[in-house]
Amino acid sequence: MIRILFLGDVVGEPGRKAVIARLGALKEEESIDFIVVNGENAAGGRGITSKISIDLLRAGAAVITTGDHVWDQREIVDYFPTEPRLLRPVNYPKGAPGSGSVVLETPKGKIGVINAQGRVFMNPPLESPLEGVERAVEAMRAEGVSVIMLDFHAEATSEKIAMGRAMDGKVSLVVGTHTHVQTSDEQIFPGGTAYLTDAGMCGPAESVLGREIASVVWRLRTGMPTRFPVAKGPVRICGVIVGVDEKSGKAIEVKRVDELHPGADKVPEMEGIIEETDSQ
């Protein structure tokens, strides 16, 4: 059996410090063979940088997925072609930097990872995620890959469930990201695909989706634009663990990860990070 750990959206410096500090122990405690982390909000709450990517990979992540904030840090455009383990959504038009899928060799066989972005209530509008995922799965199957996981970065619960049902029996795990709130509907569909609507975030627990509470409440009260700084304090680390039969690619077990990490009281200002102006 292959045990895969997936961690949800890493939010800012508090989130990534907690993840980097915890990955090694979590891997040992849960007998994890393969780790995937969503780095969508890792840089000041928006996007990811090359340095952060390297830090997460060195800490133990085998693959980093992203989503609608993938291009928010300008430098990442040039970095994508140099690092195949950093993914952007597979349903970007042809010619976009980087790739939306990757296959990696492990001691227990090949593992495929696909990253896709939904279209309901999401910007920018992309091509059909279902068609992009199906093409990626077909290519992986032709390569002899049985164990495949999908990070579906989407807003609407209905779209995530529909993707999970459509992929049942075709991939080992479909896990949703983007909403930053972990759902409790982990299950294994009839065809052997493990599913969770949203993995949740790895970010400040006392926050609104990882951002300072006061600034978000002020925005809701006044309707006026404002910065949404990443909050401080203890970090909630959320994700999912799935056990997969390496021959059939079918999920055997699935369970949520939800734990509190002490975090840091003070988060220093970061240079070179684009200011955040929205909540996710």
> How far, in Å, are 28, 65, 112, 211, 263 from residue 151 at the CA level?
23, 7, 11, 23, 26
Burial of 1 (0-12, 13-18, 19+ CB in 10 A): middle
Cα angle 167-169-170, degrees, rounded to a multiple of 5: 55
Is 69 a known active-site residue? Answer: yes
Query: DSSP label at 22?
Result: H
DSSP H helical ranges for 37-142: 50-59, 76-79, 129-142
Residue with token string 């990882």: 210
CA dist 247 → 96, 116, 133, 230 (Å): 33, 25, 21, 42
The rounded distance, in Å, linking the Cα atoms of 177 and 15 is 15
Question: Which residue is it, tokens 């990201």?
Answer: 177
Residue 33 · residue 108 · CB < 8 Å: yes
Size (the chain), residues: 280
Angstrom distance (rounded) from CA 254 to CA 193: 10
Q: Give catalytic residues, as residue numbers.
A: 69
